[in-house]
Structure 1
Amino acid sequence: MIKFEQWKGEAATSEPPFIAAGWRGNRHFQTIWPNRIKRDPASAQLASWSKSVIIKSEDGDSLRVRWSQHHDDPSSQVSRTSSDNGHHNAARAATQPNPRPVLIVLHGLAGCADSDNVMATAAKGYALGFDIVRVDLRNTQANDTPSLGVGHAGRSEDLRATIRHIEEQVPGAAITVIAFSLGGNITLKALGEYGEILPKDLRAAATISVPIDLGSACTAIDERRENWIYRRYFLKRLKNRYLNARQQRPDLFHAIDVENIQGIRDWDNAVVVPLGGFTDAENYYTINSSLKVLEKIRVPTLLVQAQDDPFIPFESFQTPAVQGNDFVCLLSPKQGGHVGFYSTMKLDSEPDLYWAENRALAFCAKSVDLCWNNESGSVSAVAPSAN
């Protein structure tokens, strides 16, 4: 099997290139259009029978994860005949000699566990053979159990809690992670904090369009005139979430005048800082930017980052922490926008046109020796195992 270091050295030439011809390569088209396209109906089918479980984070807070396991699939002959009321039978899982690998999928700032890109990635991962865990980060709209604390880009403890939950429910199952945007910062921060002391079953992680330097990303989205549409979109979603959480738990979420907040940095100062226990926005960014711990990552990790991302400066990735870590591989096409990467050329080996998702899935699949079902298409990237 290919060693990670060998694969990393060959990745730039061996990976299928990202191709977006003509005006469809525009970074704003790439950022907006791919997220408006109706995705594969397999995503909705997966969501229809997924099981929702509340788990506890390290600080005693609650978050919701959504399991999709092959033995629960109503279309599967090995589906269970009895209900466990949403709780997974760890004893039965422990008796399985070779449990299926588990893929964790984390959403971005304005998303949730039911976001289209999360669901589509989960459905493709499920087709590869993974059991799936989609995570609802704290106080997302899909999480109808408001958390005690505010969700933010530094909640690495939530990923750690999810990994522990999987280890308890499915002992011995190989674990991989795919994360988008803000969820990617949480993931990279957690991996860096683990350092050499990794969960024994964690095999690989892949992130897409991650603001590894929170301060510079915030400045870009707030101060570039062309980014007004993204700023407005994010703030609308954040305000709705906060008002929903406050309606359910007014004792925890104060009467902040969120309607008049006009920028992401202003939002962080008004909401995240007081509820998260930071001194100001700069303190929040400094403490929680994954860039400061990337050099400590010791598990094979793929970063997919477009050089033309409208609000994540690519300079953040041109640093020794990224370029000099043998456990980190950066794929950085010139185009792709933010969580876009919608190709104009479908390869026979690809299940769809979402290039970054397929790179991430291939990377994680190879790390646990899974292959795509050739009858439904294959993901052609070659990714290494941790061995």
Structure 2
Amino acid sequence: MKILLVGEYNSIHYTLKEGLQQLGHTVTVVGLGDGFKKRTVDVNFVKPYETGIKNFLKRVVYKLFKIDLNSESIKKQFFQNKHIFQGNDIVQLVNENSFSTVPKVEKEMLQFIFQNNKKVFLLSCGTDYLSVKYALEEKFAYSIATPYLQKKGTEAQFQHMTQCITAPFEDLHHFIVKNVEGIIASDFDYDIPLQGHPNYLGMVPNPINLDKLKYTPLVIEDKVVIFHGINQNNYYKKGNDIFEKALEIVSETHSEKIDITTVRSIPYVEYIKAFDTCHILLDQVFAYDQGYNALEAMAKGKVVFTGAEKEFLDYYNLSEDEVAINALPDAQKIAKKLIWLVENPQKILEISRNARNFVEQEHHHILGAKRYLSKWGVDVI
């Protein structure tokens, strides 16, 4: 089959491609590389008006004429490569704003896709209308909307989220839902808001290519190494401020037993190597399930503080702290868990082994590819 995966969020589509290819399918991934992370895609679209004088020009043109130059550039790149966007058996959109353009331009490109391919599916992965609306209505105990509702940071820092519920993006949402065969969620943070939706096909856990992620059993000789990777653009959204407070608390009493490594907004190829020597990785707070970075770290055998809520535990029949640590939005509670691990290094080694086994059993990219094919209505041999 000829399959087109549009947009990238971490490496979900490229990893899915690797699994599908091993099953004999022809797959192309088109995207923007997920910003500064510079994730791998086959056809890379670029935003040329991001920095310097071009960024200034973009803002002036938008203010005067309500024309977004980045969106117009991406539309031009799209139609220069329109042969890629037609004649596919399956197309999957990574989310409702796969090209990261303004809704009007997004709809023009999507209309071409809907008209020129057999089946199109939507992946709920990253912010979209339904998940953001659900979060802002405080239906989760906590979510990516929590720091926004607590008025942390600036409006600009949460624009990527809040724009999803504006009238143009709501209209884009309805346009996409009307034209796709169905919607698939990548984890519980997207699955829960979609429950009961007539177009919802169910969840497929993030596929992880374990061939690329070597597992090395942890050895704790002296200090416990804690790694904290900060995405500066999502500082509050990921709960990095809470993690930093927790580390301060732990450092007050256990500084001689820990070594803390912090990195900020580095490309993926640097990030994935930067945490190789750590034992514990602080991923994100405001989540019910693990995202891509957490799963890749777990595959390497790291003890990850991330989303591991009751819904996740029940679904996989796991116990608390068995494969990951549920990072609650409370610095004191996170610090208490960190101290427990530092004082019980055998638990670090145990969770490390469990984490790798869990990713192998539930997130292997070949298994993930088969699950997607099933959701797309394709017979899996």
Q: TM-score range by the shorter chain?
A: 0.3 to 0.5
TM-score (norm 2): 0.37
Structure with bigger helix share is 2
TM-score (norm 1): 0.37
Structure of greater Rg: 2
Relative contact order (C-alpha < 8 Å, sep 6+): which is higher?
1
